[in-house]
Amino acid sequence: MTSQDVRSILNLSQSRDAPHVAARKPINAPKKPEGLSRELYALIGDNAPSLAEAQASLAAVKYRNRPKANTVVSKWQQATFTPASREPSLRLKHWIKADVQDDPVVSYFGQFNHSGPSVMEYSQYEYDQFLSDPSWTPHETAYLFDLLRAYDLRFVVIADRYEYSGSKDDGSPAKRSIEDIKERYYSICRRLVRSRTATDLRSQQQQLETYSFDKSREIRRKQYASELFHLTAREIAEEEALYVEVKRMEQVQKRYRSDRDQLLRSIIGVESGLVNVDHETADGGLPFDRKRKRRPEGAEGGEDSVNQDGKKSKATAHDGVRCIYRVSNPESNPGSTPSATKHATHNPVFLRSTKLPVPKANATIRITEILTELGVSTQKLVMPTRTNIEMLEAVFNAAAGVIEMKRQVDRVEQELRTLRAQKEGFVPPPENVRRAVSRLIGKGTSD
């Protein structure tokens, strides 16, 4: 404890020798923003200015005021109304605000009060002529159509409400199934559509398709659905096993088919149903050994060549009768390229109309113009047979030849015009110049 502390306890004045302590000036600390707790503000530290700006931006947001306790609560009351789709005697109630004069709910839902699908009408004359049925009386048919109009063609509801009492002798109501009701209604609609004059045959056909109904098929469908619904767990497992087995067999069949096609393609060149093999091999001759460039031993012989010639002649006659065209083997064609003879080429089945010949690329426009003037189409062919396609290709080649000839003629005519112009513009030299040139020529000859 210092002397200064003792003097402070005894309330003694300060000594003259004691150092003078300057009074501390108050620190201007920033004011804590409103709406922020003291602990949170103490943790912020030097970030107070940024928080103040954020607080200012939050203060600019206007929040909804608390509801005042002295406001008047809206009053509600029960009001009676009549649905637009019911009879005027039916009165229902619902809650609405007391200050509302007109009920907006009833007027809003009233716009959806539209009738269901329209039911076809018929006259007595049409019924007598086209709609009579021994199992249905006119009175029962009229009763059915009344129910159809009342319940908007909801056949399940109609079958449940169907209680016609005029069918049996004892007066008990007769029951009609849904299939009977549908069959009677749709048969009447089809007969009316066929009997009435139609302005558009397409719309009449669409109506007939719309009113088509097969009673026996519908009964079988429901029976099948009922059997599926009442299947036991064992039957369901058996059907699932059969389904898996069928799928496995389909996959195996696809794999076998793929392997077979690959085998045929690699051995004898079968693809897409066409065979591309050597004519000599197909006719019974020995195969050609490509590595040795010669036939195996015993391949040469007069007797074999005679047999082959006879078989070829028979094959040619058979092809002529059957209109068969055989493509020449690339190996026997000396003008074929090495790449063509290396592997046997094969063209799968295609339509000739998809591979029509096209004009040459460098003269396509001019050839098309020439054929258009002649009335020949370059896009399609009415009968794209082999002969017609060959003739069309010949026409293209002829047109290309005409264009090339025309180009050569134009070039020659241009050269002639140029030479004529040079000849007409040529001026002969004077006499003295001619003599000097002749002397020079003679002197050069003598030397």
What pLDDT digit, counting tens, does each position of 326-385 carry? 655 544 454 444 444 444 555 667 777 777 777 777 778 888 888 888 888 777 777 888
Output the pLDDT for position 432.
Answer: 65
Output the pLDDT for position 385.
Answer: 83
- Cβ neighbors of 399 (< 8 A, separation 6 or more) are 359, 367, 370, 371
CA distances from 440 to 77, 151, 430, 432, 444 (A): 139, 128, 16, 12, 6
Whether 107 has a pLDDT exceeding 60, the answer reads: yes
pLDDT band at 235 (very low <50, low <70, confident <90, very high): very high
Farthest CA pair distance, the chain: 161
Rounded CA separation 358/28 (Å): 98
Residue ranges per structural domain of the chain: 124-206, 268-342, 355-423
Give which of 278, 281, 363 is closest to 329, Cα–Cα. Answer: 278
| SS3 category, 167 | coil
Output the pLDDT for position 342.
Answer: 47
Q: Which tops the pLDDT comparison, 283 or 306?
A: 306
Output the pLDDT for position 108.
Answer: 66
- Work out the percent of the chain whose per-residue pLDDT is above 70: 63
What mean pLDDT is predicted for residues 161-176? 73
| SS3 category, 76 | strand
Rounded CA separation 378/357 (Å): 9
Q: Which tops the pLDDT comparison, 90 or 194?
A: 194
* DSSP state at residue 327: P
pLDDT band at 238 (very low <50, low <70, confident <90, very high): very high
Output the pLDDT for position 285.
Answer: 44
Output the pLDDT for position 287.
Answer: 47
The CATH T-level fold of domain 124-206 is Arc Repressor Mutant, subunit A (1.10.10)
Rounded CA separation 203/201 (Å): 6
Type of residue numbered 339? S
Rounded CA separation 83/331 (Å): 93
Backbone conformation region of residue 267, classed left if phi is above 0, alpha if psi is from -120 to 50, else beta: alpha
Output the pLDDT for position 143.
Answer: 93
Q: pLDDT tens for residues 25-84?
A: 666 666 776 766 777 777 775 555 555 566 666 666 656 667 676 777 788 888 888 777
| SS3 category, 93 | strand
Whether 220 has a pLDDT exceeding 60, the answer reads: yes
